Each structure stands twice: as C-alpha cells, then as structure tokens.
Amino acid sequence: MIAIVDYGRGNLGSVQKALVRLGMDAVVTQDPAVVRSARALVLPGDGAFNDAMRSLERLGLLGPIREALEAERPFLGICLGYQLLFSESEEFGPGKGLNLIPGLVRRFPKELRLKVPHMGWNRVLHTGDLAIFDGIPSGAYFYFVHSYYPEPLDGTLRVATCQYGVTFSAAIGKGNLFGTQFHPEKSQLWGLKLLENFVRVVMSQENRP
C-alpha cells in the first residue's frame, strides 16, 4: 500500500487516482500509524514551506516520515513535498526542512525579471540514470507551478534539470528516494509514465525475499 500523506496541502485526489489507475492500493491519510505501516510514501504539496513543516509536526507525521526515509522505503516528494526534503528554504525567511538532502530552496532571482510563479509546461533533461525516468526521453515536457527551486549541495546526486532563467534540479534520486519539482499527476503521458516507474520501484521492493 502507498500512503499519500495529507497535511492540508496538495493535489491529493489526482495523485491517488493516477496510482489507482496503475493498479496500486493508494490511500490518502493523516494517520501516523498508516504512514508507518505503508510500503511506500508520496508527499505531495502546494503552499508555503514553513506552514507545511508546521502542519506535519502538528499532525504527528514528521516522525513516521523520517522513519520511512531512514528505512529506505520508496518515497516520492512532489513540488513542495520535494522541497521539504532539503535542509532549509528562504521562503518567508529561513525555515528548516527534513534535511534528507543537504541544500537550500531558493526563490527565482528577481534580477532575471522572470514571470513568477514558473507555471506551465517545460522541458526536463536527464541522462538516463534516474529510475523514475526509465522510458521517458530527455527533453520531455512536464507541468510546473512553483516560485522556489531546490539547490542541492551534493554534486554526486542523480538529478534531472530544467531551465527557467536558471538551471535547477527538476527531479532528484537518492536510492529509493525521489523528488520532482513538477507535478507528474498533471503531466499527462510522461507524468503517468513517471508514476508507473515509481510503482515499479515499489513493487520491486515488495517482491524482495
């Protein structure tokens, strides 16, 4: 079972429908016990970084999420759920994240005079070494809605990139931990393929002796 963590933010219904369509038992939950027992987690999200961390703490979900990550259960962070994996964010002042991936979440530079939020379809480039991009061509289009982007400090991490004034990490992989700045559940063909690849990672873990 995949637990879709509900902390009051995110496109929960769309993510659940996509995973169910792919044949997975996927539940939307705020119950720490369900999160602890799940084989895999999805952390979606829209909204503000600090508010999201406070909501996770208030609901008693920070501990179960950290336990899942430490146990290397398959994990997918989407949009804000991806940003929360990093050390901190400069959104509305410094705020601490889950610190699973050392790095900072930054706002798009004002001097570039970009339209912010970055909203709509954009190309994502990858080198084929991220399991969730298996069968997805480099340069495929995904749907973005965000004003901030993560900047990982570890140059050895597997990343996919996007260009919007700056080149930023549009997706990341670290063992069974994955994150996407774009919304796969809104990205039609290639988004569904990416979720299918995540389901394949989950199933491969379940089938281990």
Neighbour tally for 138: CB within 10 Å: 13
- As a three-state string, the secondary structure of 139-162 is CEEEEEEECEEEEECCCCCEEEEE
If you ran DSSP here, which 8-state letter would residue 125 be given?
B
* Choice among 162, 185, 196, 206 that is catalytic: 185
- CA distance between the termini of the chain: 18
3-state helix, strand, coil in the chain (%, to 5): 30, 35, 35
| Alpha-carbon gap, residue 70 to 159, rounded angstroms | 21
Q: Token pair for residue 110?
A: 């004002």
Q: State yes or no: is 79 an active-site residue.
A: yes
How many Cβ atoms from other residues are within 10 Å of residue 22's Cβ?
Answer: 17
Active site residue: 118, 146, 183, 196, which one? 183
Please confirm, yes or no, whether 162 is among the known catalytic residues: no
Q: Which of 79, 91, 126, 146 is catalytic?
A: 79
- Residues known to be catalytic: 79, 183, 185
